[in-house]
Amino acid sequence: MTAPTVLIIGARSDIGMALAHHYAAAGHRVQLAARRMAEMEADAADIALRHGTSTSVHDLDILEPGSFAAFLDHLPVLPEVAICVVGLLGDQATAQTDLEAARLTMRSNYEGPALLTGLIANRMEKRGSGTIIGISSVAGERGRASNYIYGSAKAGYTAFLSGLRNRLSKSGVHVMTVLPGFVRTRMTAGMDLPARLTAEPAAVAEAIYRAAAKRRDVIYAKPVWRLVMTVIRAIPEGIFKGIKL
């Protein structure tokens, strides 16, 4: 029996590519979804060569919810595992004054991912099986001056995933929320990240793979972040608002 098919939405991202390799290495067939999919053909060839699995690429823009149903209809099969990796950090300072920039961040991190995962969930629910994995962020756990527009959209997505999990708990469909801390990717390129809190994409992919097999609900891709966020959440708002973060 071949291992179940995995759909990766936002496959070009470093975390997405790391996931694709990890699942393919474990024998899964992978479907790569991204915008400008023609550029992904080389990645698909690489995955197929290295891991000897079949791979397909699919065009998807997360800002076009009207295309989602057709996108799912055209997949070779409804996947067993769907992972949404799409995200956009955006520039906080710009987004504070430029409504369109703020809206793009909100739509890319909340509206699009939530609508698409919701649609996939409905189809999986009908089938009675499947795993949905949403990549949100620790930034959604508490709003901070430096990235609250991104953070609030991630908070929305985290809440969406938690509600979906609640709704589907008896349906055979599992929903897992991933809250990465810092990850060394294109998104954080050039930032000065603290080494002990920063994960490599391959390590994040492995953590996700293992947690999904155990049907965990919420994971921090690097465990130390559970502690960090417990502390950050515990700080009273009166004090929190005065801290520069």
Ligand X SMILES: NC(=O)c1ccc[n+]([C@@H]2O[C@H](COP(=O)([O-])OP(=O)(O)OC[C@H]3O[C@@H](n4cnc5c(N)ncnc54)[C@H](OP(=O)(O)O)[C@@H]3O)[C@@H](O)[C@H]2O)c1
What is d(CA 174, CA 127) in angstroms, rounded to the nearest whole number?
Answer: 13
The angle at the Cα of 219, spanning 188 to 124, to the nearest 5 degrees, equals: 105
In Å, how far are 21, 197, 224 from 47, measured between CA atoms? 6, 29, 31
DSSP assignment letter at 186: G
Instruction: Annotate each residue in 108-147 with x if it binds ligand X (CB under 6 A) or - if it does not, as one string.
Output: x--------------------------x-x----------
Residue reference for tokens 């609900």: 217
Residue 173: CB minimum distance to other proteins, A: 34
Question: Contact positions toward other proteins, by CB under 8 A?
Answer: 39, 42-43, 45-46, 49-50, 186, 189
Which among other proteins, ligand X, none contacts residue 43 (Cβ within 5 to 8 A by kind)?
other proteins
DSSP percent split of the chain into helix, strand, coil, nearest 5: 55, 15, 30
Q: Is residue 94 within 8 Å of 42, Cβ to Cβ?
A: no
Which among ligand X, other proteins, none contacts residue 185 (Cβ within 5 to 8 A by kind)?
ligand X
Work out which of 3, 63, 115, 232 binds ligand X, going by CB under 6 A: 63
What is d(CA 127, CA 78) in angstroms, rounded to the nearest whole number?
Answer: 9
What is d(CA 20, CA 44) in angstroms, rounded to the nearest whole number?
Answer: 9
| Binding residues with ligand X: total (CB under 6 A) | 26
Instruction: Annotate each residue in 13-52 with x if it binds ligand X (CB under 6 A) or - if it does not, as one string.
Output: xxxx-----------------xx-----------------
Q: Is residue 194 within 8 Å of 182, Cβ to Cβ?
A: yes
C-beta of 72 vs 183, nearer to ligand X: 183
Does 10 sit near ligand X (CB under 6 A)?
Answer: yes
C-beta of 50 vs 127, nearer to other proteins: 50
Question: Cβ atoms within 10 A of the Cβ of 225, count?
Answer: 20
Phi, psi of 132 (to 5 degrees): -115, 130
Which among other proteins, ligand X, none contacts residue 87 (Cβ within 5 to 8 A by kind)?
ligand X
Q: Which of the ranges 83-91, 158-166, 169-177, 212-220 carries the binding residues for ligand X, by CB under 6 A?
A: 83-91
Which among ligand X, other proteins, none contacts residue 188 (Cβ within 5 to 8 A by kind)?
ligand X
Is 150 a known active-site residue? yes
C-beta of 81 vs 183, nearer to other proteins: 183
**Catalytic choice (150, 157, 209, 220):** 150
